[in-house]
Structure 1
Amino acid sequence: MNASQGSNEGSFLFYTSSSKVSKRTDKPLFFKEAIIFGNGGSANIHYSNEPFSTTSHCIVATQKEENINIKYVYYYLSGNLHLIERGFKGVGLKNISPKYIENLDIPIFPIETQNKIVSVLDKANSIISKRGRSLEILEQFIVDSFLEMFSDPVLNTKKWKLKPLSEVVHKIDAGWSPVCEETPRESSNQFAILKQSAVSKRVFDPSQNKLLPENTVIKKKILAQKNDVLFSRKNTKEMVGSTVYLFEDYEKLLLPDTIFNLRYNSNKISGVYLYFLFNDKNFQKKIQQLRSGAADSMSNISQDKLYKLQIPLPDIKLQNNFENIVLNVNAKKQKIQNSLNELNGLIGSIMQRAFNGQLNFNVDLELEALINEIDLQKKTNDIKEIAGDIAYLQRLIDKLNTQDFSEKIMYDKAKLVAFQLMNESEEKRRVSQEYDEKTKSIRLSLL
């Protein structure tokens, strides 16, 4: 099938050579559990246990032998994408051959061990998926709040006054584009020039930069700083006009001449409101009408046209209320993201130990994943899974008594679980403290 045959609707997933799965279909071509390899561009891999379809730029692998858990193979290869990447050959758009994939070496354990590895990784990935979904819900809450408070900025049903951007943006600074290294900087102590990709996704990505060569004389020092609104004035047809807001401070990141810094008057407009306004899907179309240039690949928006852009201007107090909502939600998102980063580190460790044959299949890893979910800011957490399993409880006690934790934060979370368990009502209590004569110390014990 061709990629054009995929749509936004359908009962089944439609895989292309992309790492993102965004298309669907009502005509499945494959019905068995399978691994799907993208065959074009860069290495990517997917797993499916439901009917699906693919383009001709995919390679589909199904189970050949009964003693192989195909999801185990998927987990191994997804954790070692470099093995697949090596197989991409050719000039221009590179491809990988089915023969190369067939000849990949994979450590094969007894099927019972494979199944246990899959079970552990499934549980860890389930937690990661829930965290990712929480981030999506918070993102949507902000968008919904914007529309509820201000209405659609193009339809303007709340009849806000329309003003040219020049009334709230007193100056537009453009950066400078010198010859730079091809690699990003290694430290915030080094000067670097931002790439267009730092703003193209409409969320600021400071890692997208090019190192400024040493001893370069800086001719135009326009820095990216907290509370700035940055605007992509020259980009592809789809990306021109991309806007980001800087919620944090950054050091020595210089703007190129293709990115504007919109110097707004905070007494008249909130930078956060301006950011969400410019990234509203309907208002984006209005901004893109300002572009000029013969080549669609590099459209341009001039300062003059941008200054004249008519924008809805609600009361500044309402804008500031929205900004506070965004900042509060972002704080929650950061906590979830930190947890997500920890979980990704955990699953990476699990995969490394599992596929090196170093994974001891007791309850350690599953308990570690559950402990990692504990929020130290809460006095009471949901610990039903730990409290309801004797194996988890005993291992928790053993680890606390020996302080067998690789990180202090995990030890602190485990202690919080223990305190909560000891504070249960008498009929529910499973954990207590006792004095150990041998070690002359207080130890936890299982009731």
Structure 2
Amino acid sequence: MPLVLFGDHTRAFKYVDFPFALGADGVKALQPLDGFDAKFLFYYFRSVQLPSAGYSRHFKFLKEILVPKPPLPEQRRIVDLLSRAEGIVRLRREAEQKAAELISALFLDMFGDPATNPKGWPVRKVSDFVSRFEGGKNIQSGPENGSAYRILKVSAATSGVYRESESKPAPDGYIPPLSHIVRAGDMLFSRANTEELVGATAIVGSTDGKTLLPDKLWRFVWAEPVELAYMHALFQSSRVRRELGKLSSGTSASMRNISQGKLYDLALPIAPYAKQKDFGERAAAVHSIQFQQFASTAKAQAAFDALLSRVFTANNAQ
């Protein structure tokens, strides 16, 4: 029977219609009562703004919400409408991924696989070309529209493309240090995530100037001139991502951490700056396509979010 999974810590929902086993006590399996379509509930729950209690439990808030119960045919009509809209978002994200694969292919063609370093580039420690990492602060989020500032979530960098919309409101009245403000041209590093996703990097193309670093995202501060496109492609390469996963530690598989000491000691083949610049110039055309795809995805996501809200607002009004 289809179910809805709820992340008690993360407030995330997932629809499952296949056999599975619960792997963590922080996940709740929600089985629909008679008269409810599981996917209808999945979409409805996603339209509800649950209060944030940090890494505490949130099921207590979910239990208190009121759920509309239109006739099953109407529930399925809503599910069909939202599934089609979300399908467009999924296709846009797949197009983004294909553009990212072009960058990876260009990098391998010019520099070879960092795992084997077939072109014999000098091997250097990260501490040789990074002077420091700057991070933000772990603070509780505030109410929506209460502060001019927003704090990035780790998911802002997870895909390898910077997503400023992946953020939460800062507390009312919070005045951040200037070093916590995200700047255009920053390359961000996810120092905490799952073993597969820890170490993800993203370049900030543009920003509103009111977005802040959290404690789990670091900014690279370079010790020498570098080409951002080259460094991003290097750190996003499969070999480097595997190494970063191995360097991470933690008692939970769902949250691994990398220390700055281990990251500074990581040895990587580094091409000369002139070669890096050459790569950046060749990659610029592909990045243009990538940014266009990202803009299309953002529009599709915004359209889906608006539809999700409108469908259930209208339904609740009936």
The bucket for the TM-score relative to the shorter chain is 0.5 to 0.7
Q: Distance in 2 between matches of 1:356 and 1:294?
A: 47
CA displacement at 1:343 relative to structure 2? 3.7
2:115 aligned with 1:146, yes or no?
no
2:287 aligned with 1:326, yes or no?
yes
- What residue number does 1:246 align with? 204
2:303 aligned with 1:345, yes or no?
no
Amino acid at match of 1:276: A
CA displacement at 1:142 relative to structure 2? 1.5
Match of 2:92 among 134, 142, 147: 134
What secondary structure does 1:161 align onto?
coil
Contact 2:47 2:309 in 1 (8 A): no
Q: Distance in 2 between matches of 1:182 and 1:347?
A: 24
- What residue number does 1:58 align with? 29
Identity percentage of aligned residues: 14
2:7 aligned with 1:46, yes or no?
no
Match of 1:161 among 96, 121, 132: 121
2:271 aligned with 1:317, yes or no?
no
Structure-2 change in CA distance of 1:186 and 1:285 (3 Å)? same
Q: Distance in 2 between matches of 1:43 and 1:235?
A: 18
Contact 1:195 1:208 in 2 (8 A): yes
2:43 aligned with 1:78, yes or no?
yes
Q: Which runs of 5+ in 1 are unaligned?
A: 1-33, 87-91, 358-447
Contact 1:264 1:271 in 2 (8 A): no
Q: Which runs of 5+ in 2 are unaligned?
A: 23-27
Contact 2:147 2:174 in 1 (8 A): no
CA displacement at 1:338 relative to structure 2? 0.7
Structure-2 change in CA distance of 1:237 and 1:262 (3 Å)? farther
Q: Distance in 2 between matches of 1:224 and 1:308?
A: 25
Q: Distance in 2 between matches of 1:195 and 1:134?
A: 22
2:236 aligned with 1:279, yes or no?
yes
What secondary structure does 1:142 align onto?
helix
- What residue number does 1:22 align with? none
CA displacement at 1:169 relative to structure 2? 3.7
- What residue number does 1:36 align with? 3
- What residue number does 1:421 align with? none
CA displacement at 1:214 relative to structure 2? 5.1
Task: Encode CA deviations 1:216-270: one digit per residue, 9 max, x unaligned.
Answer: 7x4x6354211111234x546736533221121241445567624233756xx43
Contact 1:291 1:301 in 2 (8 A): no
CA displacement at 1:200 relative to structure 2? 5.8
Q: Distance in 1 between matches of 2:19 and 2:246?
A: 37
Structure-2 change in CA distance of 1:168 and 1:46 (3 Å)? same
Task: Encode CA deviations 1:193-215: one digit per residue, 9 max, x unaligned.
Answer: 76666556655454257449557
CA displacement at 1:300 relative to structure 2? 0.6
Q: Which one has more relative contact order, counting CA pairs under 8 Å at least 6 apart?
A: 2
Q: Distance in 2 between matches of 1:55 and 1:136?
A: 28
Amino acid at match of 2:98: Q
2:183 aligned with 1:225, yes or no?
yes
CA displacement at 1:53 relative to structure 2? 1.9
How many pairs are equivalent?
292
Q: Distance in 2 between matches of 1:316 and 1:265?
A: 13
Task: Encode CA deviations 1:55-103: one digit per residue, 9 max, x unaligned.
Answer: 36635448x6xxx5x54x64256324689x89xxxxx76779xxx89xx
- Structure of larger gyration radius: 1
Match of 1:107 among 49, 59, 69: 69
